[in-house]
Chains A and B, each alone.
Chain A
Amino acid sequence: MTDVLAVTDHRRGELRDVSYEIITAGRQLADETGGDLHLAVVSGTVDDFAEKVNREGVDAIHTVDYGEEFNHDVYTQAITQLYDDLAPQYVLAPNSVNGLDYAPAVATELDLPIVTDTIGLETDGDTLIATREMYGGKVETTNELEGPAVATIRSAEWPQAEGTGDASIETFDATIDEDAIGSTVNGFEEVGGGDVDISEADVLVSVGRGIEEEDNLPLIEELADALGATVSSSRPIVDNGWLPKNRQVGQSGKVVTPDVYIAIGISGAVQHVAGMKGSDTIVAINTDPNAPIMDIADYAIVDDLFDVVPALTEEFQ
């Protein structure tokens, strides 16, 4: 039987969506061989969180009441101890920024292999078959692993579990060695405020690395002007300092849901797509017919942006 221990994710008093998605992923793995799904809820208002994640398919919830916010040393200690106690076949963690801050440590500590950012998981009880992407989403791969393992799951790949469950909720008395805690979280800060709120825009003209140079940006601005649209961008444009942080769309930027999102010279990396996939209509202008953005675009122009964008601007001038 394949028991699964899945770890929930929360921040500043709120469970994150992936906490419900990981229930679905974990349940599915456990179901393949009739195992149990255990959830770990570590730090924060654990009782409140436990109640919320008690959804259909969860067999047991283990709460570790230690500290308010995420600390990777606390997580690593709590999860490795839970693993020793429950002996599950698989540990699932979210492939969130925090997941990536403890899951590799848990794997190393337990001497287990780790497979990160999975988008599909299957097992026959012994072999785990994990699907993941390579080369920025240009290809998918399957990876096989024998025996127990740690896997992190990409967010928004599995649906969120629903319904009310009847899991047992138990306090797990993890022994947290405070001397082994080598980092302290001193607070949080929101970044990216400023003049424009791209999440309010109806039309976004979004520019990516395909623009090549800062000097070419006016091309995009002219188009946005002609359309009465707002300019947003992928991460490299912001990293380069060509646009301020409040224009960045994506996982670490803003989530946007405009009527029309025009992605110009943007490949559609998963962290970018996380911020714009809810757009009503997605148009991609890209020289690469295989760019991952094509998978979520409604309309595409496979051509050089330096030809298409000026022609488009002209249409509206």
Chain B
Amino acid sequence: MKILVTVKEVATVEDEFEIEGTAIAEQYLGADLNEWDDYAIEEAVQLQEEGVADEVVTVTIGPEECEQTIRQALAKGADRAVRVWDDSLEDVDLLDVGAKTEILSAVVEEEDPDLVLTGVQSGDDSWGATGVSVAENLGYQWGAVVNHLEHDLEDAASVRRELEGGVEELTEIELPAVLTIQTGINEPRYASLRGIRQAQRKELDVKALADLDVDESAIESELELSDMYEPESESDVTTWEGSAEETAGELAELLRDKGVAP
């Protein structure tokens, strides 16, 4: 069985930042492996270690800079990686669900995996929709927000979907399928030094849209990001100032006033 895992490098924002136009100014941004994808990688690697999967391939849409993030996934045990990038993607403000679906679908078609694992959402733009969209686009089955997967995979995947309010749904999904993976499904490993060394030698294939037969027009976002701003605060928060002792003293007084503390 072959597993394809989508891996995204997400943008992180510093505590204090400034907005320039419809983006956060570059100097306040960092980069990290998407939290949800980390769990998806771990799940795939465990399936491989148990002999259920023969190959784990990652796919990323992103510029060359994100190769360090891809190497993290390789260091954790993925066999090889595909990275899709193109000049035409360089200037895109916002890659919407439709555009990602077109690109990722092309890679899935080429790789023909039995199982595709994605994160439930990405930590930066949090669409939470790409996995299901890819599945529908390709006629794969799917399950969104999976927090448990039985590893005796044959023709179907037995999963738990995490609903709201501490309720889980027990679902059987025919393969091939796309599962969007929720945090907590496993314990993602840290890459070992040996893993990191090995990752340097693993295959990282770069593809342009033309290599995947994806037409540039297909990835034009239908959404236009027209504004970005800091949300207006809804509450009149009282912020205590001073040393830790002083602010802790204020809070202690409040708690005593409310009669909730000794």
Binds B, one of A33-41, A53-61, A94-102, A160-168: A94-102
B90 CB within 8 Å of chain A:
no
The answer to whether residues A113 and B237 also contact, given A129-B226, A141-B228, A260-B258 and a CB cut-off of 8 A, is no
CA gap between A189 and B124 in the complex, in Å: 31
Judged by a CB distance under 8 angstroms, whether B15 is at the interface is yes
Interface contacts beyond A100-B120, A101-B143, A182-B174: sample of 19 additional A-B pairs, CB < 8 Å, sorted by A: A97-B163, A100-B145, A104-B130, A107-B129, A115-B96, A135-B123, A139-B228, A143-B225, A203-B260, A203-B261, A251-B165, A252-B162, A281-B254, A298-B238, A301-B248, A304-B244, A311-B248, A311-B249, A312-B251
Query: Which 7 residue pairs spanning A and B have beta carbons closest together?
Result: A311-B248, A182-B141, A307-B244, A113-B222, A104-B129, A315-B252, A239-B184
Q: How far is the CB of A83 from chain B (nearest CB, A)?
A: 14
Q: Which of B214-262 contact A (CB under 8 A)?
A: 222-231, 233-235, 237-240, 244-245, 247-252, 254-255, 258, 260-262
Cβ-defined contact, A114 with B228, below 8 A: no
Q: A183-B143, A186-B170, A252-B164 are in contact. Are A139 and B132 (CB under 8 A)?
A: no
What residues of B have a CB within 8 angstroms of the CB of A241 in the complex? 187
Q: Is A294 an interface residue (CB 8 A)?
A: yes
Q: Please state if B168 and A188 are interface contacts (CB–CB under 8 Å).
A: yes
| 21 A-B contacts (beta carbon < 8 Å) | A72-B144, A108-B133, A114-B133, A116-B97, A136-B126, A182-B174, A183-B171, A186-B170, A188-B170, A189-B167, A191-B167, A203-B255, A228-B262, A240-B187, A252-B166, A295-B235, A297-B235, A300-B239, A301-B240, A308-B244, A308-B251
Q: Cβ of A113 and Cβ of B98 under 8 Å apart?
A: yes
Report the Cα distance A245→B129, complex, angstroms: 26
Is the contact region of chain B dominated by helix, strand, or loop, or is it mixed? mixed
A289 at the interface (CB under 8 A from B): yes
Query: B183 to A239, Cβ gap below 8 A?
Result: yes
Chain B stretch 1-46: residues in CB contact (< 8 A) with chain A = 11-13, 15-17, 19, 22, 24
Interchain CA distance A182-B12 in the complex, whole Å: 37
Smallest CB gap from B168: residue in A:
A189
Give A119's nearest chain B residue, CB to CB. B231
B144 lies within 8 A of A97 (CB): yes
Contact residues in B for A228 (Cβ distance below 8 Å): 261-262
- Tell me whether B260 and A202 are in contact (CB under 8 A): yes
Inter-chain contact A97/B133, CB cutoff 8 Å:
no
B190 CB-CB contact with A under 8 Å: no
Residues of A with C-beta under 8 A to B170: 185-189
List, in ascending order, chain A residues with CB within 8 A of B233's CB: 294-295
- Indicate if the CB atoms of A183 and B261 lie closer than 8 Å: no
Query: For the complex, is A216 an interface residue (Cβ under 8 Å from B)?
Result: no
A103 within 8 A of B: yes
A183 to B166: give the CA distance in the assembly, Å.
22
A142 touches B235 (CB 8 A): no
Majority-rule SS of A interface residues: mixed
Q: Are the CB atoms of B224 and A139 closer together than 8 Å?
A: no
Measured CB to CB, the closest approach of chain B to A314, in angstroms, equals 8
**Does B63 have its Cβ within 8 Å of any Cβ on chain A?**
no
**Across the interface, do B229 and A134 meet the contact criterion of CB distance under 8 Å?**
no
Cα A146 to Cα B162 in complex, Å, equals 34
B169 in contact (CB, < 8 A): yes
Q: Provide the bound-state CA to CA distance between A145 and B250, in Å.
A: 48
Contact between A140 and B235 (Cβ–Cβ < 8 Å)? no
CB-based nearest A residue for B224: A144
Whether, in the assembled complex, A253 has its beta carbon less than 8 Å from a beta carbon of chain B, the answer is: yes
Question: Are the CB atoms of A135 and B13 closer together than 8 Å?
Answer: yes
Is the pair A116, B128 in contact by a Cβ cutoff of 8 Å? yes
| B residues 172-191 in Cβ contact with A at 8 Å | 172-174, 177, 183-184, 187
Q: Find the A residue at minimum CB distance from B234.
A: A295
Candidates A114, A129, A259; contact of B98 at CB < 8 Å = A114
Q: How far is the CB of B134 from chain A (nearest CB, A)?
A: 8
Establish whether residues B254 and A227, one from each chain, have CB atoms under 8 Å apart when the complex forms: no
In the complex, which residues of chain A have a beta carbon less than 8 angstroms from the beta carbon of B184?
235, 238-239
| Chain A CB within 8 A of B68 CB | no
Would B222 and A255 count as touching, CB distance under 8 A?
no
Q: Complex Cα distance A189/B173, Å?
A: 18
Please tell me if A138 contacts chain B, counting CB pairs below 8 Å.
yes
